[in-house]
Amino acid sequence: MKEQNGFYTLKGYQKNDSADMTSAMEDYLEMICRILQQGETVKVGELSQRLHVKPSSVTKMVQQLTSCGYLHSEKYGLIYLTQKGSKVGKYLLYRHDVLFRFLCILNHSQDELEEAEKIEHFLTPATIHRLDELTKELEITRGKASAELSQKGQMNSIEKRPPP
């Protein structure tokens, strides 16, 4: 079934994809993991607010993620990650962080949330890993460049200072 040479439409590639997670499932799992890392508890209402979706959609998705073995929920509506969910969730946060940092450095901006959210689902772990290494290098180079620039700026202001 892994006959995947040549061009397909995006839908065609997605059909060939053996991963059992949809982009929507990834978005929810990523957010659940993010909230838990911030030391807060996760409930349907919280997810509904953070992701700007209806509580009924959250309930449906939580059920789906639970049946796939990523979550378990307890009384009082608290949602937890299983071991599998925690492993995948951590990767999703890492993937998001790498893309976000890369896009920020590429665009000289500080807020590339929307673009990162849109494209993160389509990159393989190998690409993300290499993008992480590239971004680290770029961050170091940019950091050096801006440090040199501010040093130059200081020197210039010293040179321009009128003689005593």
Q: Interface with Zn ion by CB under 5 A: which residues?
A: 30, 96, 117
Nearer to Zn ion by Cβ, of 43 and 120: the residue is 120
Q: How far is the CB of 96 from Zn ion (least distance, A)?
A: 3
Closer residue to Zn ion, CB minimum distance, 112 or 117:
117
- Nearest Cα neighbor of 49 from 57, 64, 13, 67 is 57
Closest contact distance (angstroms) between CB of 84 and Zn ion is: 19
73 contacts 80 by C-beta, under 8 angstroms: yes
Task: Give 157's strand partners.
Answer: none
Q: Compute the distance between CA of residue 96 and CA of residue 93 in angstroms, rounded to an integer.
A: 5
Burial of 132 by CB count in 10 Å (0-12 exposed, 13-18 middle, 19+ buried)? middle
State which H helix or E strand residue 79 sits in.
strand 79-81
CB of 97 to Zn ion, least distance (A): 9
Q: Which is nearer to Zn ion, 117 or 132 (CB)?
A: 117
Q: In whole angstroms, how close is the CB of 4 to Zn ion at the nearest point?
A: 26
- Nearest-CB residue to Zn ion? 96
| 115 vs 117, beta carbon nearer Zn ion | 117
Nearer to Zn ion, 119 or 145 (CB): 119
- Residues belonging to the chain: 164
Please report which helix (H) or strand (E) contains residue 27, including its range. helix 23-37
The least CB distance from residue 62 to Zn ion, in Å, is: 18
| 3-state secondary structure (DSSP) of residue 152 | helix
